[in-house]
Amino acid sequence: MQQAERKIGLFPLIGIIMSAIIGAGIFNLMKEMASTASVGVTIIGWIIAGVGMGSLAFCMESLIEKRPDLDAGIFSYAQAGFGDYIGFNSVWGYWLSVIIGNVAFGTLMFSALAYFFPIFGNGQNVPSIIGASIVLWLINYCITRGLEQATILNALVMIAKLVPIIIFIVCIIGAFHAQIFFHDFWGSIGSKAVPATGILTQLKGTVLSTMFVFIGVEGAVVFSARAKKRTDVGKATILGFGAVTLIYVLVTVFSYGLLTQSQLSKLPNPAMAYVLADIIGKPGAIIVNIGVIIAIFGAWMANTMLAEEVAYQAGKQQLFPKIFTKENKRGMPVNSTFITNLIVQGMLFSFFITDQAYSLFMKFSSATILLPYTCVVLFQLKTNYQTHVKLVSTDMLVGIIATLYMFWLIYASGAIYLVLTILSLVPGTLMYIYVRRKESVRVFKPYEVVIFVIALGVFTYGLWQMSAILKM
């Protein structure tokens, strides 16, 4: 196959971003937001998340233009800006986060199927794990058949899962009640308005929720080496982010015009099914549950593509072992895809051992994504400084806003998420040491030794506190 045939155009890149971002979470998002904040604070939360994550998207677009030589994914910015060890931790954290997210997709898909087939229970029993394993290797087969086929299938699935979401949006706008929407707009305790500290507490939880549902916005950047045109990567990032943001805002905010905050927060999963059922009856629940299944499959496939591509590119950059760089005759990284899915398979089997595994995996997945994102915005600031960008300029302003947003997220996450991140990253250092020695290059620079020693200390503390982490 010719190289040109393996390139991705603008719309498939947008499809990868939207499929990766819009998973099962959107179908429960109104409940998650309502359990944290009132409608007024939810709107503010979306504005902050939109500005913060939008700044991250614009940082990526800026770096794509200024550093066209860095096309190995978002970790290449960490590697170029802060050295090989930080670059490795960035790609390891990203790869691990996406893999763990895929484990969640497996259980969530069959939990949704249980609405139609009760045999699957909560998605963590034997029939569910067998079913998830079959889907896992079906996705593996589809991806290794070729990039063009995989992106076409991904686009079709994305369109299919947008249908129930669009139906939901049309229905909630049509059934919107202003009286319900504006009742208790800022949240209340009895008849008294929540004090400023209460609103800030709501906002803190809301901003965290909104950040994690945007994971996948970097999808086009991950595939930048395979894009038909370099400019398409930046366009896809901005357009994909804008489209998803609009969908998220409509789904969550207008739901407050159907049910009160208290009612939304108490809905079973998936909450969207019960909101739509309140408008059009049982068909609403059926439509949404079908949408959940399709959405999970699409997000699972898109995220598998991201995971295998980032591991493949890391192998080419000598951060992962060379085994990840092997391609099949269709130009697909077959070993990277297989190893990625093999790890997912192993994690699926862990549900036979303990029902705590899902909760722990999701905490690790959420924790490890902040490092790659933070490295992107810091590198954007560094690039601006090196290229003598004026302090008062759009590029510099975007970089500063994105940096402040990332540090705010780290602070808002709390110390426990820092510990979780270190627990996830430190074991990967063993692979980093192996690769460096295999390539006969120096393992650590002096400042990297300091970073590793500090991380090792936090890792030891995290192991000691593991029981507390499991309960959080």
The pLDDT > 90 percentage for the chain reads: 35
Beta bridge partners of 227: 8
Residue 302 is assigned to a structural domain of this protein? yes
The CA-CA-CA angle for residues 161, 162, 166, to 5°, reads: 135
Residue 451 lies in a domain: no
Q: Does 138 have pLDDT greater than 90?
A: yes
Instruction: Report the pLDDT averaged over residues 358-377.
Output: 78
Q: What is the pLDDT of residue 190?
A: 41
Report percent pLDDT > 70 for the chain: 91
Give the model's confidence band at 420: pLDDT under 50 very low, under 70 low, under 90 confident, else very high.
Answer: confident
pLDDT at 154 over 80: yes
Q: 31-50 pLDDT, tens per residue?
A: 888 888 888 889 998 998 88
Highest mean pLDDT among 35-39, 132-136, 230-234: 132-136
**Distance of alpha carbon 340 from alpha carbon 240, whole angstroms:** 25
Residue 393, pLDDT > 50, answer yes
User: How many degrees, rounded to 5, is the angle at CA 88 between CA 84 and CA 92?
Assistant: 175
Residue 356 has pLDDT above 60, yes or no: no
Collapsing DSSP to helix, strand or coil, 381 comes out as helix
The answer on pLDDT for 193 being more than 70 is no
Q: Tell me the three state secondary structure of residue 440.
A: coil
Cα-based distances in Å from 304 to 61, 90, 307, 369, 430: 23, 18, 5, 16, 24
Q: Give the bridge partners for 8, in sequence order.
A: 227
Query: Whole-number mean pLDDT of the chain?
Result: 85
Task: Measure the CA angle with vertex 292, ends 291 and 293; round to 5°.
Answer: 90
Give pLDDT, residue 335. Answer: 95
Kindly tell me if the per-residue pLDDT of 5 is higher than 60: no
Structural domain includes residue 408: yes
pLDDT in tens, 295-348: 888 889 988 999 999 999 999 988 999 999 999 988 899 999 999 999 999 988
Mean pLDDT over residues 115-136, rounded?
Answer: 88
- Per-residue pLDDT, 469: 58
Cα distances from 374 to residues 27, 66, 81, 213, 235, in angstroms, run 28, 18, 12, 17, 21
pLDDT confidence of residue 22: 84
- Is 447 part of a structural domain of the chain? no
Which tens digits make up the pLDDT trace of 246-300?
Answer: 999 999 999 999 998 888 988 887 888 889 998 999 888 898 888 888 888 888 9
Structural domains in the chain (count): 1
Tell me, what CATH number does 265's domain have?
Answer: 1.20.1740.10
Is residue 282 in a domain? yes
Residue at 448 is within a domain: no
Q: Is 460 inside any structural domain?
A: no
Token pair for 309: 């591509």
Averaged pLDDT for residues 373-383: 93
Whole-structure pTM value = 0.85
Whether the Cβ atoms of residue 155 and residue 147 lie closer than 8 Å to each other? no
Indicate whether 434 belongs to any domain. Answer: no
According to the model, what pLDDT value does residue 355 have? 58
Give the span between the Cα atoms of 448 and 450, in whole angstroms. 5
pLDDT at 189: 45
pLDDT top residue among 194 and 86: 86
Distances (CA, A) of 363 to 205, 356, 417, 424: 15, 11, 8, 10
Question: How high is the pLDDT of residue 245?
Answer: 92
Domain range enclosing 146: 3-412
